[in-house]
Structure formats: structure tokens, C-alpha cells
Amino acid sequence: MRPENYQAVSHPPSHEYEVFFGPNHPGIEGNYALKVRLHGDEVTAARADGGYLHRGFEKLMEGRLWIQNIALVPRICVPDPVPMEVCYSLAIEALGGLEVPERAQWIRVMQLELSRIAAHLFTFGGNAATTGMYTPMFWGIADRDLILDLFEELSGGRVYHIYNIPGGVRRDLPEGYLKRVSDTLDYIESRLPDYDNLMFTNQVFVRRATGVGIMTQEQALDWGVTGPNLRATGLPFDVRRDDPYLIYDQLEFDVPVEEAGDAWARTLVRRAELKQSLRILRQVVARLPEIDGPIRAPIPNPLAWNLPLGDVYTRVESSKGELAYYVVSNGGDKPWRVHVRGPSAMHAVQVLEHLVTGARIEDVAQIMFSLDACPPEVDR
Amino acid sequence: MTPTDAPGHDVTTTLDFLLQEVDGLRTRWVAPRRLRVDLPAETLPALLELLKGRAGYVHLSAISCVDWPDDGQFELVYHTWSYELNVLVMAHIRIPRDPGVYLSIYDLYRPAAFFERDIHEMFGLWFEGSPDMGKFILTEWEGPPPMRKEFDGEAWVMEQFGWQEYRPEWLTEIEAKGGGISKRPEQLRGDKGEDGTA
Amino acid sequence: MSDIDYKQRGSLLNPLRSLGFFGRPPVTQPLEPRPASINYRGFHLNDWEKCVGCGTCQKVCDNAAISMVHIPDLPADPAKGVRPERPAIDYGRCCWCGLCVDICPTGALALSREYVHTCVDADLSSYFILPDSHGIHGQPYEKGWAKTADADLISLLREPMPELEPEQRIENFDEIVGGYDPQQALLEASRCVQCGMCHDACPTHMHAPQYIRAIWEGKLEEAVGWIYQTNPFAHICGRVCTRRCETACSIGHRGEPIAIRWLKRYAMDAIPHERVKQIAAAGRCETPSGQRVAIVGAGPAGLTCAFDLAKQGHAVTVFEALSQPGGMTRWGIPEYRLPYDRIDRDIDVIQSLGVEIRCNTRIGSDITLEELHQQYDAVLIALGLQMGRGTRIPGSDHPQVRRAVDLLRQATAGEEFGTPQSAVVIGGGNVAMDIARTLARLQRQRFGTAQVTITALEELSHFLADPVEIKEAHEEGITILPARGPREVVVEDGNLVGLATWRVTSIFDEQGRFSPTYDQEDAQIHTAEMVVEAIGQMSDTGLLGDELTERLAWNRGRLQVDSDGRTSEAWLWAAGDMVRGPDVVSAVADGHRVAASIHAALSAAKEQNP
Amino acid sequence: MTQHEGTVHGIARLRDKTTLREILEVATSFEASARDFYTDLAPKVSKRIRYLVEELAAEEQRHFDLFNDLAQRTDLHEQIQQEIDTPASDSQFSDCLHLPHLGEAPDDQEVLQYAMGREHTAMVHYGELAETTPPGPICDLFHYLASEETKHKLELEKLYYQLVHRGGGV
């Protein structure tokens, strides 16, 4: 615990407590902590604590060549690394005036959606575990592993794929790859009734999530909430559709919304989104074989690559919400500034502090997981 | 982006027209959905109020800070998004690096609290009126704000931490023959071509 | 809204549905390591046969995980760009991003499908690995992440150089190569990986990585500064250097080497001449030494030596037999390859440092070597290889049989030598190409058509000439007949008819040494008005005189010099082509070497007799 | 051409001999005269190319020694037999060169041309002798001698090429 957290609580009344919720807590993601003040079992105040994760990515990136940073960015969000790679690459491409070949764009979308499915499966598991249901966690992680297998085959790495590179992607698809993607999609689709049965229609979970961590659409907008959390308050906004990048405008998919704005609504949005991702991937698997051509635009020697003076703000829809990179070049061979705007920066600090205030202590973990916050995005 | 992605003619006209109400702006469409606005620091609140009140710019996507020590300035970029127009407005202002003080826009945008606190912690800027300028990530850090350009993170790491010393057998054998490590990676770091040859 | 009825509480028997799972296979993973996928990014593999020790992997490594290790057992070949170094990986730092694989210029590096390594603290050194092709535990694993053509981070293709088309150049002596524009130069310079193989291979060890980097950074004056550190023949070497640097270039293993020569040319052309003079004078000693040096021969070796000595404060006089300085670069190389104004610029820079050049002064007739010995503190002879060899085949004493070097000299001087309507050139080197292309131009100017045939003993692949020269000669309509052995110059009634040749059936013996055999059945006569011998060259050492020749030590026909260029006579040094064989940049290197030796000797002499 | 090696005269002299010893004696005298010729020439040429003449003298001395040794050996026949199994072939390269009259101060090219010519003549002599001698040890000896001279000529041709055709530098 941090020194500030060692400060003795100043003579609380006997029914008031201060509780350190994390970082060593199964209900907390990553090295993150909440310091909550309790009145009985009711949270009266909460402070988010950035945790011990700080690796100074933004500073590190300023000391590395444009291309070297591709090995760094996926580490900012471990469960959903592809949006990080793509968003950074999009920024470099915009600054350098690179046209990403169409095939590479399709391959990127394929990865982005696979990564989204993997991330959602992971989150379902964690979310269920906060209510004491551990089977969905085992399932979620085991099924996510099948997607990691696909990533391993594609990129050589299961978690840190480092597969996207400014200009496109680093390798073409292995022989027969789309068939295996298709098989995995079939399998995951066949599992959905199991998840419904186990989790989404399970009254233990439904009732623990319903009415918990409610935010109105007005609040959500006020707090800068994005992604599934925002859509769970009834606003149908999705960067993929409304600020399109890559070839998302050539794909058919819905933007699912829920109205209730509670933990359950957020879970339902993710459940529906996973199906949309499967739908997108079916289209990619069908179309990708027809799209020939290079997988990467020609790029200069990475050791001698100056990007023109300029700045760019690129956004993608990650599984957590709006992910953006603000990249500034001073004309040199390294970024002058990279600012990572992770969706969780909002969700895990201000929003979480608001939502847990007034909640009961047993719902804190549920609220946190329902927001699907990824602490490394805060503490990047 | 393909032309079909671009916002409609009326959207761009609306925005261009609206922004005429604020003096001292320079606007530039840098991409179909990206409008860059450069403006004097004191005008920013007026711009944001206008955007939020009249064009649906309710979403503050981020505040980015860029250090320009050679200019003696910090650049602050306010990225705002309208769910109605689907256009990102990036408002760029510059403030003197010293004393590095600016106004908080927390009253207008709640998310500003996080970004301002983060910028304060990393760059040392002070935002007047921001709800919490307390430490968040760097609770045990006593050094200068690390994102400032004058702070050399790598040099600090080199000073602070040692390199792992390895003595594998193969190296001992090669050294016995008169060979050995000819160029360590740290020799390349910060080596700005004074002797580019290996 | 959701497509499931989550409010439905369902029947009490719902949990029984889960019994169906008994019918499904369990998800079980074996305990032993799974085989990795085909693209797996595991531990490194390095093919030591392919690896040249360039260290590019080390430069791209974002985690500072790679050390270069000098391994004395490995072959070192600077001329081919091979260094006895190999990368070692610190697996405490490596993140397996594989950028080293994608950038490796030779394609030696790959990642394997091996991914398990662990140890106790005492064995921590096992995390520092010198990978070869066997895997880190000596167990062969298949390659995982390896180089592919579409993902290469090395740009293999050179920026194309704008050149005059054959039809634009065949009737004139305009320079063929146009030179890079700033954008092309920047792009070409950006291909460099800064390995320094060029520096090691260059006879005068030019700082090519530094000036290429400076060009890429747009700091052209800095580039010129780097160039002048080692080479005052900057314009000339920017155009006609034999560019061993490019042979050694790491990019050349799989692609086209960096156009180092053209980049040098670009930098030199970009900076105004007066500024070049200032840059070249940097580091000049302002106090005269009071010592005098005589240099015989105003070619690259002599003038480079003069440049160095003048910068060190010595009074240098260069004696040149011909009417203008430059040596073979002026009198041997045609203007379409090297315009005279560029030679003039290089020489002007040297003269601007105070070097005195006395042209039309022949040693032996105008002044003797002995006089120089008496009047100067040191004497350098850098005579070059001005005399062409003759084939001495029957008929070769006919007046229409000429030597290429003589004709080229006459062409430079603008002398009329009787351009023939048709000519046969004997030889396969650059001089043969130079005279053939010069003659063809003169023929077109005079007769409207050209007819020049080159015959050489060697097969095309063994020609000494630069392949570019051969290609351009072809383009200019010159007939090249490889593997033709000159047999006789055919003369009828005193008139030259042509050259008779035999076909060469083989040229090298099993040791790779020259041992030609002829097929007498395949005899040809190439009719021509002139036969030009463009074979070997030699030095005119007659000016040494019998007495000095006898006193000097010789080594198989060449003047014997020590490693610094000093002859067996303490006052006399020798340098350049006459010592090293023909090559501009080697002559420049020799000039530096000799200058250092002379300076040391003069300084020592001054100390003894202040 | 020296007076010892006029073509007809030389063949006639050798063909008259019937024993190995006699043949070798004449052959040896050829080599001795060549050696003496080069030894006399050496001081006359420029010091620059003296190495060449000295090497030629040494080579003739080597042949001289070899033939002397052959005359002493008892296992002669067998050895000759082995040598002629792989006769060196002639390539005609030096046939295309003028045989110069060596003046008082010949240059390196002239010396080489002369030496190649001499080796060629000797090669032809021994070759013709071998052709016209009935099979047997003597015929084998001629073949062997011809092959020796051919080999030397090839070595000279290589040197000539390096010196005259390949780049230069001397």
C-alpha cells in the first residue's frame, strides 16, 4: 500500500471504516486499488489509487524510434492489445501519409474483432467471479485461449502480438488460416447457449447485477463514459460506425444498446456485441480471400525514418470504449509526444468513484468489472 | 478516409459558421472529421462553451499536453466530440512554460478533472479551479515532473539501476581467445551518430 | 434490447440441463510444453554462415537486449563486408518482438519455436545467449518467425539514378549521370543501416556512415566535412570511385547496396565551391614548418599527399609533366564519366591550401630527381601508370596499332589523332571501355556512325571492367566479343586490315590462375582501320636514372616501399598506382599514408636540428 | 635463338643418341646453356625487372638438376611412365607472340616473350622426338621432357598475362 494510504484514519466513529480494496484482491483488475470509506456496509466515499503499474509508456515512447514502439503499445492493455497496435499505427500512417493496403485493413479488422471477443470472454469470466460464480471464468479463459491460439499462429505471440506495424501488418496469413478462424467462430457460437444458460439467464448473476451501479445517459455523457458502458445507457454510439476507420464502413453490424445503465445492462451490451463481432468476422472470413495485394505499404528504413512535423488524433473502438492516440512529431525519428487516451482512464477513476459511492461493499467488485476497466490504460 | 465517410456539407458549414462567433481563431480541416482550431489561451473557455452549448460537444475525449521547451511553452490540446455532428474539434492553445498555470475547465467538462490532474502530475502544470491536483500515480516520486523534456528518463534509469552482469561459459571461452563483447547495447543508447560506425 | 429472456426464472429442474456436460469431452491440456505455431517468436536462431556481424539487429532492438561479440575464430573480410562478430541476446531484456529478424540485412536471424528456458539464480548467466543455428539448449527446433519478402524492413532497391539515354549521349561527351535531387538523396541515404562495413572496406576509410547520416539529416556541410576528413578527391571519387564500400555494404547481400558514391557526389555538388574550400581547410596548421617537400606527379596520390602536408604547414611543390594536374583522372577518364570542371574543383581546393603545382615540368629533362633531392627536405614520386602495354603480336608494330592510354590522353588534350571509321579494341578493363566509347563518340561526331569492336581474352563474367561500363558500352552500340585471343594484326600491302583472333576455350586452370587455351578452328578476322591495345599499364620509371634504379630496392618489378611508402632511400617516398596498382581511392589512401610518414620524418628531422 | 638450339640441328643431335644417358646429356646441356644465357643477361637488364631474369635462370637450373638426377636414377623408367600419363597440353598462347631479338637492355615483356619462345621450342623438340621414337623407355623420356617444358611454358604464360594483360601496375 502506498504511504498516503498508511495515514491513520482520524478517530472514525465505530461504524465507519476505511477499507483498502485491492490491489491484492480478486475483485480488482491489475495492480489497482480503491480506498473506500464505509458506513456499515455502505460506501460513503471512494478514492481510486493508480497502483504500482506505472511503466511510463508515454515517456518511453519518446525515446524510441517510431517503429520500436509497436513492441510497447500492446502492453498498455493486456486483455485487448490489438486496438493499441492499430490505433498507434493509424497515427503513424496519418503523420507519414502512408496508404494501408486493403488486404492489411481487412486483416486488421479481423484481429480487432478477435481481440474484442477474447476481451469480452475474459470480462464475462471476471464479472461472474465477482458474484462468486467461477465456472464462467474458467470457461471464458479457456475459450479465449482458442483465440489466443489463432493469434499465436498469426503473429507468433499469444498475448503481445506485435503484429501491426505502421503501413500494415507484419506477415500475411498462414496457409489455411481463415478456415481455422472459421472453425473457432463456429465453436464459440456453439458455446453461446452454454454461457446464456450458465450466466446470462442465471438469476444469481442477473439479480446481483440488476440495479447495481446505475448511471443515467446524462451522467454517462457528463463523466466522459464511452463504449459499451455508454451504450448501456441508451446512446447508440460506436466509433467503428460513427467515426469509421479501416474498412468498417464496408461491414454490416449493429450497435447494440440497453437503456437501464446498470451493471446488468452493461453485461447485456457486451453479450450482444460479442455476437456482432462474430457477425463481422464471418464477413471478413468470406471477403478476405478475394482481397489480394500487399500486406504493408512500403516504409522507409526504420533506423532512418523521420515523420513530418505534425500531430494527429486517432481513435478506435476497443472492447472498453473509445481508445485514442494523440501523436506529435517534431520532424524527427522518434515521437515527440504520445498521449494514450484509454477509455478506462475515465471509467476506472471518476466514474468508478461515483458509482461505488452509495453502493454496498459487496457490489464494489461487480461495479468495477461491469465497467470493464483496464487499469494499465489509466496508469500508462 | 473515403469521401463517403466525410460529414455532410451542412455540418462543416454549420461548424465554420458557428466558430465565426469567437474572435482570434484559426481553423483548419485536417481530415474529414477532424477540425483543428488554434486560438489564444484566454479564448478557449468561450470556444468550449460555444461548442458544448450550440453544437452538441458534450464529450471531452482528452486533454493532451505537449512540452515545447525551445519555445518556452506548453501546448494544451482539447479534443472534443459532438455526438450530433460526429466531428472532432481539436482546440490547440499554448501557455508559457513558466509559471505553467492555466484555468480548469472542470465546470464545463467533468472528465477534465482526471486529465488536468494527470497533466499536473506529469508536466507540473497547475490548473486553477481543478477539483483535485493531488498525486495519483507518482505518490513516491520526489523528482521533477517526468514528462517534461528536460527529464531524461533513460539517464535516470541508467543511474538508478545496474545492468545484469552475465558470465556464461561461452563468453569466457571467447575471451580466452582474445575476443569478447565488442559493443554493448548501452553504448548505442543516446549515441547520436558521433561515431556511427560499429 | 436483449434477445434473451433473462427475467424468466425458469423451472426448478433447470440445473439438470447441466447434466448434458457429462457427454462432452473435457478441456484438458497436457503438462509438457505444447509445440509452438509456425510463426512462433521463440528463442533466436542465427545462421553464422550468413551473419556478417553488421550489428543492425542491435540497433533496432528496442530493449537494448543485444550485444555484439567479437569472435576471433571467425573469418574477417572487410572487402566483402564480413566482420567476425555475432549478436548475443540478453533474455532478461528481450521482448521477442522480432524486429531484429525483420531488419536483418542478410536474413541470418530467425526466431525458433523453442520457448522454454528457466534456471535457478546461480545459473542466471544462462539468460545471456550467443545464438547459432542449433537452438539455445542444443536441441534442434524448427524456425518460427523468419524473414519474409513482404515484411522485410530493409529497402532492397536503390533510388534510381537519372541518366542520359543512349541516344542522348552517343554523340557527345556530356556527363551521363544526372545526380540525385534532394529528395532522392534523402531517400537513398535513409536506406543506410549505419553498420560501417563501407568504412572498413574503403582503402582510405572514408566516414561514409557519418556523411550518409548527415545527408539524411539534411546537414550537407557536415557531410562535406566528413568527406574531407579522409578524401580531398571528393568530387572525383563521387563520380568514378571503384566503390569497394558498395561491395561491402550489408544491404548488398540481398539487395542493391546503398549508392554511397552517388551520395558523396550529391553532397559535394550541393555545397558551393568557396564553402567547400573553407570546410576543407578546417584543422589547417597556421604556422609554417619551414620545410619543403617535392612531389612528382599531380595525380590522386601525389595531390592527396600534398593536401595533407600543406595542411600540416609544409611548403609543397608538385611537379607535373603534362599541361594540367589530375593524373589519370584527367588524362585517362573520359569527360562523360568525369567532367573536367569537377577535377578542377578538387584541385582548386588543394591549391587553395597553398600547394604549388608546376605543370609542363618533366623530371629528367626539365629538372632532375637529384636536384629535387638536393633542394627539398623530402621527395615523393607518384608517377602513376601512364604507359600502355602492347600485345606484341605479329603486326602490332604497325602505325595504326595504338595504345589506349595514349589516345585517351590525346582526346583529353583535344589533339587530332586520326579518328578511324572502324576500330578494334583489345582488352576487357575499364580503359578498354573508355577508349571504345570515346572512339564511338568521335566517330559519330565525324562520320555519323560508329563501328567499334572490343575483343577480350576473358569471358564477360571475368571482365575487369565495371559491369555498368559494359552495360553502357553495349547500349552505345559497341560490339563486345568476349573470349577472343588476339593472334595477329593483319596487314596487307602495308595497310592495316584488321585483327585476327582465336576463340579462347578456357582461361583459368584448376587453381583459378590464368592459363588460356585456344581453339584454332575458330579463327576470325575483325576488320578495322585501327587496332587499339587497352591491356595492362606500366610506370615510366626511366626518370629515376640507372644509378638510382640500381641503388633502390625493388620488389617484383615495383619499387619496394615500407608500409608507410618510404623507399630504400631515406629521402624518397613512392605512392599511388605505381606502388599499389591502378585505383583512384587506393591512391588517395596511399597519399595519406605517405604524407603521415613524410610528416613524421620531417618533424623528427626538425627536432634533431632545430 | 642461341647457337645451341637451332631447330634442325637440335633434333638431329638428339635423334642420333640412342641411350637414355646420351639423350639426357644433350638435354642437360640445353638447360645449362639457357641458364648461362639468363645469368649473363641478368646484370644487363634494369634492376626493376632483374628478378624475372634471375627466376628464369633458377628455373633452368632446376631443370638442369632434374635431368642430372634422372640420369643417375635406376627407377627411371617407372617414373617417366607415370609422368607421361598426364601430359600437359599446349595452349598456343605464346605462339602468337613475336620472338624478339633480345638487345642489350630488354624489358620485362621481351624477356618473358623470349623465355616462352624458348620453352615452346624445347617443347616442340621433345614432342617431335617422342613422335618419331619407337615406343619404349626412350620415347617415354621424350614425352616426359616435352611435358616438363610445357608446364614451364604455362607458368610463364600466366605470369605474362598478369603482367601485361591484367590491369598492370608494374
- pLDDT at residue C75 above 90? yes
How many angstroms away from the CA of B139 is the closest CA of chain A?
7
| CB < 8 Å & 24+ apart, contacts of A128-133 | A128/A199, A128/A205, A129/A26, A129/A27, A129/A369, A130/A27, A130/A365, A130/A366, A130/A368, A130/A369, A131/A204, A131/A205, A131/A208, A131/A209, A131/A366, A132/A204, A133/A198, A133/A199, A133/A202, A133/A204, A133/A205
In this prediction, residue D19 carries a pLDDT of 64
For C406-412, what is the mean pLDDT? Answer: 96
- pLDDT at residue B2 above 60? no
In this prediction, residue B6 carries a pLDDT of 61
Query: Which chain B residue has the Cα nearest residue A95?
Result: B30
Rounded Cα distance, C349 and C355, in Å: 9
What are the respective helix, strand and coil percentages of chain C, to the nearest 5?
35, 20, 45
- The mean-pLDDT minimum among A35-39, A182-186, B120-124, C164-168 falls in A35-39
Among left, alpha and beta (phi > 0; psi -120 to 50; other), residue C97 is: alpha
In contact, B182 and C142? CB cutoff 8 Å: no
Q: Is B176 on the interface with C (CB under 8 A)?
A: no
- pLDDT at residue B198 above 50? no
Question: What is the rounded average pLDDT for all residues in chain D?
Answer: 73
Q: Largest Cα–Cα distance in chain C?
A: 126
Residue A229 lies in a domain: yes
Closest in C71, C126, C195 to B198, CB measured: C195
- pLDDT at residue D85 above 60? no
In contact, C319 and C363? CB cutoff 8 Å: yes
Q: H helices then E strands: how many in chain D?
A: 6, 0
In this prediction, residue D87 carries a pLDDT of 44
In this prediction, residue C39 carries a pLDDT of 93
For A124-135, what is the mean pLDDT? Answer: 88
In this prediction, residue A2 carries a pLDDT of 53
In DSSP notation, B14-28 reads: HHHHHHTTSTT-EEE
How many angstroms away from the CA of C145 is the closest CA of chain B?
23
Confidence bin at C415 (pLDDT 50/70/90): very high
Rounded Cα distance, C551 and C568, in Å: 8
Closest in A153, A197, A206 to C37, CB measured: A153
In this prediction, residue B171 carries a pLDDT of 96
- pLDDT digits 0-9 by tens, C328-356: 999 999 999 999 999 999 999 999 999 99
For C67-89, what is the mean pLDDT? Answer: 96
Flag if C537 and D93 touch (Cβ within 8 Å). Answer: no
Helix (H), strand (E) at residue C497: strand C495-508
How many angstroms away from the CA of C405 is the closest CA of chain A?
44
Q: Is B2 on the interface with A (CB under 8 A)?
A: yes
Residue A32 lies in a domain: no
User: Which ranges of B4-136 would DSSP assign to H, the alpha helix?
Assistant: 9-19, 44-55, 112-123
- DSSP class of residue C576 equals S
How many angstroms away from the CA of C159 is the closest CA of chain A?
12
In this prediction, residue D6 carries a pLDDT of 39
Rounded Cα distance, C558 and C538, in Å: 10
- DSSP class of residue B8 equals P
Three-state DSSP state, B36: strand
- pLDDT digits 0-9 by tens, C542-551: 889 888 999 9
Number of domains into which chain A is organized: 1
Residue with cell 546503398: C258
- pLDDT digits 0-9 by tens, C424-452: 999 999 999 999 999 999 999 999 999 99
Cell of C425: 579494341
Question: What is the rounded average pLDDT for all residues in chain B?
Answer: 88
Residues 6+ apart with CB under 8 A from C91: C43, C65, C117, C127, C128, C129
Confidence bin at B3 (pLDDT 50/70/90): very low
What are the domain boundaries of chain B?
3-148
For C208-229, what is the mean pLDDT? Answer: 96
Chain A residue numbers touching B137 (CB-CB < 8 A)? 50, 54, 379
How many angstroms away from the CA of C136 is the closest CA of chain A?
18
In this prediction, residue C589 carries a pLDDT of 96
Share of chain A above pLDDT 70, in %: 93
What is the extent of the structural domain holding A229? 57-378
In this prediction, residue A26 carries a pLDDT of 58
How many angstroms away from the CA of D163 is the closest CA of chain C?
7
Choosing among A70, A103, A170, A295, which should be mutated to test the C contact, i.e. which has the most C CBs within 10 A? A170
- DSSP class of residue A252 equals -
Rounded Cα distance, C519 and C372, in Å: 53
For B180-197, what is the mean pLDDT? Answer: 67
Rounded Cα distance, A197 and A210, in Å: 17
- pLDDT digits 0-9 by tens, C252-308: 999 999 999 999 999 999 999 999 999 999 999 989 999 999 999 999 999 999 999
Neighbouring subunits of C (3+ Cβ pairs under 8 A): A, B, D
Query: Which chain A residue has the Cα nearest residue B131?
Result: A350
Cell of C441: 563518340
For A316-340, what is the mean pLDDT? Answer: 96
- pLDDT digits 0-9 by tens, C112-148: 999 999 889 889 999 999 999 988 888 888 999 999 8
Rounded Cα distance, C177 and C427, in Å: 25
In this prediction, residue B141 carries a pLDDT of 87
Other CB atoms within a 10 A radius of the CB of residue C394 amount to 17
Q: Is C148 on the interface with A (CB under 8 A)?
A: yes
- pLDDT digits 0-9 by tens, C560-575: 999 999 999 999 999 9
Edge-first strand order for the sheet with C514-527 is: C484-492, C495-508, C514-527
The CATH number given to whatever domain includes residue A344 is 1.10.645.10
ipTM: 0.84
Domains defined along chain C, listed by start: 44-151 (3.30.70.20), 170-280 (1.10.1060.10), 292-386+540-608 (3.50.50.60), 391-537 (3.50.50.60)
Residue A7 lies in a domain: no
Confidence bin at A22 (pLDDT 50/70/90): confident
Residues 6+ apart with CB under 8 A from A183: none
Tell which residue, D47, D69, D67, D43, has the closest CA to residue D57.
Answer: D43
Residue with cell 535516470: B156
Closest in C64, C68, C92 to B182, CB measured: C68
Choosing among A65, A148, A301, which should be mutated to test the C contact, i.e. which has the most C CBs within 10 A? A301
In contact, C289 and C333? CB cutoff 8 Å: no
- pLDDT digits 0-9 by tens, B46-66: 999 999 999 999 999 999 999
Tell me: cis bond preceding A23? Omega within 30 of 0 counts.
yes
**Residues A114-123: b if buried by 16+ CB within 10 A, e if exposed:** bbbbbbbbbb
Strand-strand pairing, B26-31 and B34-38: antiparallel
Question: What is the rounded average pLDDT for all residues in chain A?
Answer: 90
In this prediction, residue B194 carries a pLDDT of 38
Other CB atoms within a 10 A radius of the CB of residue A240 amount to 22
For C359-371, what is the mean pLDDT? Answer: 93
Q: Is D151 on the interface with C (CB under 8 A)?
A: no
How many angstroms away from the CA of A23 is the closest CA of chain C?
26
Rounded Cα distance, D97 and D164, in Å: 12
Query: For the domain B3-148, what is the CATH superfamily, name and number?
Result: NADH:ubiquinone oxidoreductase Nqo5 subunit (3.30.460.80)
Tell me: cis bond preceding B99? Omega within 30 of 0 counts.
yes
For C219-247, what is the mean pLDDT? Answer: 96
In this prediction, residue B193 carries a pLDDT of 39
The pTM (predicted TM-score) of the whole model is: 0.88
**Residues A276-301: b if buried by 16+ CB within 10 A, e if exposed:** bbbebbbbbbeebeeeeebbbbebbb
Q: Is A241 on the interface with B (CB under 8 A)?
A: no
Chain B residue numbers touching C59 (CB-CB < 8 A)? 188
Closest in A153, A264, A271 to C39, CB measured: A153
Number of A/C CB contacts below 8 angstroms equals 117
The CA-CA-CA angle for residues C315, C316, C320, to 5°, reads 155
Cell of C555: 620488389
- pLDDT digits 0-9 by tens, A131-162: 888 888 899 999 999 999 999 999 999 999 99
Dihedral, D141, D143, D147, D150 alpha carbons, nearest 10? 120
Domains defined along chain D, listed by start: 3-165 (1.20.1260)
Flag if A341 and B146 touch (Cβ within 8 Å). Answer: no
Residue with cell 512540452: B67
- pLDDT at residue D164 above 70? yes
Rounded Cα distance, A26 and A137, in Å: 12
In contact, A47 and A55? CB cutoff 8 Å: no
Environment class of B182 (CB within 10 Å of its CB; exposed 0-12, middle 13-18, buried 19+): middle
Share of chain C above pLDDT 90, in %: 81
Rounded Cα distance, C289 and C54, in Å: 43
- pLDDT at residue A119 above 80? yes
- DSSP class of residue C112 equals B
For A345-358, what is the mean pLDDT? Answer: 89
- The mean-pLDDT minimum among B182-186, C56-60, D101-105 falls in D101-105
In DSSP notation, C38-69 reads: TT---SEEE-TTT-----HHHHH-TT--EEEE
Q: Which residue has the higher pLDDT, A222 or C33?
A: A222
In this prediction, residue D98 carries a pLDDT of 52
Three-state DSSP state, C293: strand
In contact, C398 and C496? CB cutoff 8 Å: yes
Q: Is A348 on the interface with B (CB under 8 A)?
A: no
Question: What is the rounded average pLDDT for all residues in chain C?
Answer: 93
User: Which ranges of chain A would DSSP assign to H, the alpha helix?
Assistant: 3-6, 57-62, 82-96, 102-129, 135-155, 177-195, 203-209, 217-223, 227-231, 239-242, 263-287, 343-346, 352-356, 364-370, 375-378
Neighbouring subunits of D (3+ Cβ pairs under 8 A): C
- The mean-pLDDT minimum among A68-72, B155-159, D20-24 falls in D20-24
Rounded Cα distance, C148 and C254, in Å: 12
Closest in A56, A223, A328 to B111, CB measured: A223
Residue A315 lies in a domain: yes
Dihedral, D36, D40, D43, D45 alpha carbons, nearest 10? -100
The size of chain B, in residues, is: 198
Residue A18 lies in a domain: no
In this prediction, residue A230 carries a pLDDT of 96
- The mean-pLDDT minimum among A113-117, C370-374, D10-14, D126-130 falls in D10-14
